[in-house]
Amino acid sequence: MADLRGFDAQTVEPNDSFDPIPNGDYLCIITTSEMKPTKAGDGAYLELELDVIDGPYKGRKLWDRLNLNNANETTVKIAKGTLSAICRAVGVLQPKDSCELHDLPLIAKVACKKRVDTDELTNVIKGYRGRNSVRQEPAASAAPVPSPPTTSVPPWKRT
């Protein structure tokens, strides 16, 4: 039991729903990090907790898990690539401890995804970049697009 004397719910606004935030890029900071064992007990992942620090969703929390110790080499490769993106985004290229990544602003690309177990929507982080980095646009096509004729003469009347 906990002593709640002095608490009055009438003086505190209730929390809003915990619906996922919309797809988009959000300015965040990593606030906590911890290595945790996988459910199967055959590996470990780095769990990151992030806070959105700007915009209409300021104060909302996001989580990411990086499977840095796993039997599946592809899983580890993806996790290390994500960790590299985080390190580059915050400017800490050779961290000795995950706490060195805390409280440094970065952009998290957030998407919504259906949970397999409940079919509820949840947020997932699809990538990271520095707060001042420019979003890369798709490369232009190698073949030039022909310009329309500048004359007003119909094609059948041209010589």
Taking 60 as the threshold, does the pLDDT of residue 130 lie above it?
Answer: yes
Mean pLDDT on 126-146: 66
Q: Is residue 154 part of a domain?
A: no
Q: Tell me, yes or no, if the pTM score tops 0.85.
A: no
pLDDT band for position 28 (cuts 50, 70, 90) = very high
Can you tell me the distance from the alpha carbon of 47 to that of 11, in angstroms, rounded to the nearest whole number? 34
Burial class of 128 by CB neighbour count within 10 A (0 to 12, 13 to 18, 19+): buried
Kindly state the DSSP code that residue 88 receives in the 8-state scheme: H
Render pLDDT for 61-76 as a digit per residue (tens, 0 to 9): 999 999 999 999 999 9
- Predicted confidence at residue 1, as pLDDT, reads 78
Query: What pLDDT, on the 0 to 100 scale, is given for residue 145?
Result: 47
10 in a domain, yes or no? no
Residue 122 lies in a domain: yes
DSSP state of 58: T
CATH number reported for the structural domain that contains residue 25 in this entry? 2.40.50
Report if residue 150 sits inside a domain. no
Query: Within a domain: residue 121?
Result: yes
Structural domain span for residue 96: 17-129
- What total number of domains does the chain contain? 1
